[in-house]
Chain A
Amino acid sequence: MYAQTNIQLYNQLTRGECSPGDLTLIRRAYELAVQLFAGLYRPSGKTFLDHVVGTASIVHEIQGKPALTAAGLLHSAYTHGDFGFAGRLSVRLRSKRMIDAVGGEVEAYVRMYTEPPWNMHSTGELPGRIDDMTPAEREVVLLRVANELEDHLNGGTLYCYNAAKHKGKLEERRELLSGLAHKLGSTVLQREIDRVFAECSRQPLVPELLQRVSRSRSYCILPESCRRSAWLYAYGMMRRVLR
């Protein structure tokens, strides 16, 4: 059973052998994640925070390296995180904020995770390239696989609006991820992928529990007493005009 809340993750960490410094690093990563992913949900309706905690928990179970666990908590900071208006304008500001909070090593993992060779479109090519990768790059691939595994935990993808489509692609996804785990030399991860996907394929689709709104990507719900900053509106309009 993987952690889904910070409390469960912290309990998982205390069962292992983490130094006080490692625990502080992971707590700070979580606190930053709370700021960046406020109001964000996965297409299944699950909170984004629970998703990143789950990813970190899987990575910790498989790898046990604190910096990588912290990176698990922030893995999609550059793609989904809300750094505010200034952060949206400047890449440097975003990375500075990450480095200030969790240090250069974690930031480097997150940056590598976001950069082209690791994105969703190219995962099909990954197994063939793993042997030529540096250890850090291989760890980022592990993060990618953990992210996918987390999405499928407890049949998570089957609660999305387009659940039937997900169900149809389960076997293809399992083969790819299982192949990656094999190439990474992690039999534990490979076994976990097989177990989780087998559970997922056995699970029935329940239309009553699906989202009523079509959402294929993560989405943000703003608190009702809040509105987007006026600067962001102006920025969006300016970009549209320039385009």
Chain B
Amino acid sequence: MYAQTNIQLFNQLQRDGYRAGQLRLIADAYFLATRLFAARVEASGKCFMAHVIGTASILSASVAPAELVAAGLVHNVYCNGDFGDYRKKVTEAKRRRIRDTIGEGAEQYVYRFAMQRWNAAGLRKTHEQLSGMQELDRRVVLLYLADQLEKHLGLEILYFRDYEQRCRHYREFGPLLVDMARQLGYSSLSHQLQEALQATLGSTIPAELRSQDSHRFSYLRIPESCQRKRTIPALLAVSRGIRRMLRKTQRRSVGRPVAGG
């Protein structure tokens, strides 16, 4: 059973034999995550913090170095963390903030995790290149596999509103994930991934418990007595407007017949 709360994770870390300095690093990463993922919820309704804790717990059980466990707690911070910014980009200021808390080594994992493409083409490419990868990149793949296993704990995928689409994805790419874990030398993780995928794809849950939320991905549940800072909605509206305008211009240029064609 993997941890889903900081309490369970902290107990596990002690059992797994991490030393005092390493525990402090992981605790700091946790408290940073509480700030950056405050009020964030998965589309399945699960608290986002539980997901990152679960990921770190899987890494700790895989005897990963403390820096990687700390990175597990903030692994998707550049995509989902709230830095008080309206952009989802990785910026130097954001990187500095993460580095200041969890150190340069752990931040490297988080940065590479954000830079790597995990879509269909990216997964196939990673799978092909895995044997020739350097240690740092192999650990980033391990981080991704822990993230994926966590999403299958307790059949969570089935609680998403778009579970059918997700199941289709895992039916296609599940074996790839299992093989990547095996190639990395984590046979237990590979086995668990296989079991979790089989359980997800072969089970059903009562429809009444499935999330009724319209969100497809994790989202920010703004506390009711709060509002977005005024500049952020304005900037978001401007950026949306510009993107819409660019799309229109693109469509017009695509529709126009090519001269001399």
Contact = CB atoms under 8 A, between A and B. Distances in A.
Contacts of A47: 5, 34, 47, 49-50
Contacts of A8: 4, 154
Contacts of B213: 31
- Listed residue (A10, A20, A82) with the most chain B CB atoms within 10 angstroms of its CB: A10
Contacts of A206: 10, 14, 20, 23
B226 A227 contact: yes
Given A35-B221, A87-B224, A224-B84, A46 B31 contact: no
Given A6-B45, A211-B31, A153 B7 contact: yes
Contacts of A224: 35-36, 38, 82-85
B10 A7 contact: no
A4 B50 contact: yes
A14 B38 contact: no
B11 interface: yes
A7 B47 CA distance: 10
A124 to B, nearest CB: 27
A223 interface: yes
A227 B39 contact: no
A222 B40 CA distance: 11
Interface stretch (A37-45, A104-112, A178-186): A37-45
Contacts of A222: 38-39, 223, 226
Contacts of A203: 11
A232 interface: yes
B114 interface: no
B208 A225 contact: no
Query: For chain A, which range describes its interface: under 10, 10 to 19, 20 to 34, or 35 or more residues?
Result: 35 or more
Given A10-B159, A153-B7, A220 B20 contact: no
Interface stretch (A125-133, A154-162, A188-196): A154-162
Contacts, number: 172
Interface residues of B, number: 57
Interface string B96-111: 0000000000000000
B222 A223 contact: yes
B16 to A, nearest CB: 13
Contacts of A35: 221, 224
B243 interface: no
Contact of B225 (A10, A49, A84, A221): A84
A17 to B, nearest CB: 12
Contact of B229 (A24, A155, A227): A227
Nearest to A230: B227
B24 interface: yes
Contacts of B4: 4-5, 8, 50
A10 B221 CA distance: 21
A67 B24 CA distance: 41
Given A46-B7, A84-B225, 13 more contacts: A4-B4, A5-B50, A8-B154, A11-B155, A13-B209, A31-B213, A38-B39, A38-B221, A38-B222, A88-B225, A154-B7, A206-B20, A224-B83
21 contacts: A23-B209, A27-B212, A34-B221, A36-B224, A47-B47, A50-B50, A84-B224, A206-B20, A211-B31, A220-B223, A222-B39, A223-B39, A223-B40, A223-B222, A224-B84, A225-B85, A225-B220, A226-B223, A226-B226, A227-B229, A232-B225
